[in-house]
Amino acid sequence: MLTPLLAAKSLRNRLLTTALTVLSIGLSVALLVGIENVRFGVRESFAGTISGTDLIVGARGGSVQLLLSSVFGMGAPSAAVSWETYQRFADHPAVAWTIPYSLGDSHRGYRVVGTTADFYEYYRFRDGNRIEFAVGRAPATDTEVAIGAAAARELGYDVGRPVELTHGLGPMSFVTHEEHPFEVVGVLAETFTPVDHALYVTLEGIEAMHEGWEGGAMPMPDFSGGALPGAPAAPPLEPASAPAVDTGPAITSFLVGTTSRIDALQLQREVNTYEEEPLTAILPGVALAEMWRSVGYAEDALRIVSVFVVLVGLSGMIVSLYTSLNERRREMAILRAVGARRGRIVTLLVLEAGLLAVLGCLLGVGLVYALLVAVQGFVESNFGLYLPIRPLGTIELGYLAAVVVAGFLLGLIPAAKAYRNTLVDGLSLRV
């Protein structure tokens, strides 16, 4: 028991050096544990964006692309899905509910999502929470729009504000649907998901906004009244032989809730082999795991950098202990003179290194939790990322154990030097 107390008093006597060494180790440990917490939080935030949805169905394409465009508002949908196909699967016996999405328009850089009342009833995010309104209600007509919390806050919009939407998903567009304005009738409660960064209209609103765009391009202006003087009048157009068929609103994807998980797998196979139209059905969890595999190299790189930072911090500890041995020659000699064996000296220095590592780990963990408490709300509000304050996981505890063990082992380096020093060496004067 005397040796640990002696090690603690020795470190206290060199308070400034001890504090700087502990701070160096603590900062490096905070980086290591903090990166792991952020990695976990980002994964949880992405996974919590959508909950309770069994399938996402869209035009034939990549699973990650469909997931990103439909759920996270990243990228553009590959193609549209016909209304007949949507109705075919919406009426499927294995389907409990569906949420159609129509993407392709925006407002000042924020996406516009055309959907139905089923979105507000069935869409679930983190821990099964549903969409709620902070102010107002869901849009019910083709001239009403609801706006996400983040978009409303950053644009300064409230209920009753007129809104003009633009064609295209980019922040800049030269085609504005001025002929069909909308009015904000609701502001969604904050979810800290991509839902907060979008505007929501009805499918009828998307259809009315694009009236005359049936060919895929904006309608051309009418030049019938602008004929040159003396030019023969253009013959009147013959009426169409048959009225246009109402194909229903255009959608780009739809979410599906099935009656059971077994039905989800069977329905996925049926959608992917549907012969009438090329479709892709994905399981959100599987597609999300595929996306994480594609970015796993970046996570590994961050871990490697963090490990090297910790090694630098431990190296500073060894340098501090090693260089202080020259100043502690007389201390070691006195300990030897009062009966301390060489093994006790080695144990003392190893314990000092271990205590520095333990204190550095405690400081690093404390810094991580303090930083999480300080920035959690800011990160959620500005970046939509949920960083949970949770107990240390198995990976983080493993990192801390490795740092402490490394501290004890590296303490053998200055201990070996002290072991070789003789009693006479410590008592002799050096000039």
Whether residues 264 and 408 share a domain: the answer is no
Whether residues 11 and 82 share a domain: the answer is no
Question: What is the C-alpha to C-alpha distance for residues 148 and 120, in angstroms, rounded to an integer?
Answer: 12
Whether residues 202 and 94 share a domain: the answer is yes
Q: Give 171's DSSP letter.
A: S
Sign of CA dihedral 386, 389, 395, 396: positive
Q: Find the range with the poorest average confidence among 75-79, 235-239, 355-359.
A: 235-239
Instruction: Give a yes or no: residue 222 inside a domain.
Output: no
Whether residues 255 and 127 share a domain: the answer is yes
Which one is predicted more confidently, 284 or 170? 284
Whether residues 25 and 159 share a domain: the answer is no
Instruction: Give a yes or no: residue 290 inside a domain.
Output: no
Q: What is the pLDDT of residues 283-333, one digit of tens each?
A: 998 888 888 877 777 777 877 888 888 888 888 777 777 766 666 666 666
Last residue of a domain, which of 259, 282, 305? 282
Question: What is the C-alpha to C-alpha distance for residues 269 and 272, in angstroms, rounded to an integer?
Answer: 5
Last residue of a domain, which of 257, 282, 307? 282
Question: What is the C-alpha to C-alpha distance for residues 149 and 255, in angstroms, rounded to an integer?
Answer: 22
Q: What tokens appear for 391 in the block?
A: 């107990």
Question: What is the C-alpha to C-alpha distance for residues 67 and 352, in angstroms, rounded to an integer?
Answer: 52
Instruction: Give a yes or no: residue 62 inside a domain.
Output: yes
Instruction: Give a yes or no: residue 343 inside a domain.
Output: yes
Domain region containing 89: 55-213+249-282
Instruction: Give a yes or no: residue 240 inside a domain.
Output: no
Whether residues 159 and 28 share a domain: the answer is no
Instruction: Give a yes or no: residue 237 inside a domain.
Output: no
Residue-level pLDDT at 253 = 93
Q: What tokens appear for 275 in the block?
A: 């012969």
Q: Find the range with the poorest average confidence among 81-85, 180-184, 248-252, 258-262.
A: 248-252
> Looking at 131-213, which runs of residues are DSSP E strands?
133-136, 144-147, 162-163, 166-167, 182-188, 198-202
Look at the chain and report how many structural domains it folds into: 2
Whether residues 127 and 272 share a domain: the answer is yes
pLDDT class for 96, splitting at 50, 70, 90?
Answer: very high
The yes-or-no verdict on residue 224 having pLDDT over 70 is: no
Count Cβ neighbours within 10 Å for each residue of 16-49 and write b for 16 or more, e otherwise.
Answer: ebbeebbbbbbbbbbbbbbbbbbbbbbebbbbbb
The yes-or-no verdict on residue 199 having pLDDT over 50 is: yes
Whether residues 122 and 271 share a domain: the answer is yes
Instruction: Give a yes or no: residue 287 inside a domain.
Output: no
Range 1-8 average pLDDT: 67
Q: Find the range with the poorest average confidence among 272-276, 376-380, 398-402.
A: 376-380
Last residue of a domain, which of 225, 258, 282? 282
Whether residues 176 and 270 share a domain: the answer is yes
Decide: pTM greater than 0.85: no
Whether residues 31 and 167 share a domain: the answer is no
Instruction: Give a yes or no: residue 232 inside a domain.
Output: no
Whether residues 207 and 325 share a domain: the answer is no
Range 371-390 average pLDDT: 79
Whether residues 184 and 63 share a domain: the answer is yes
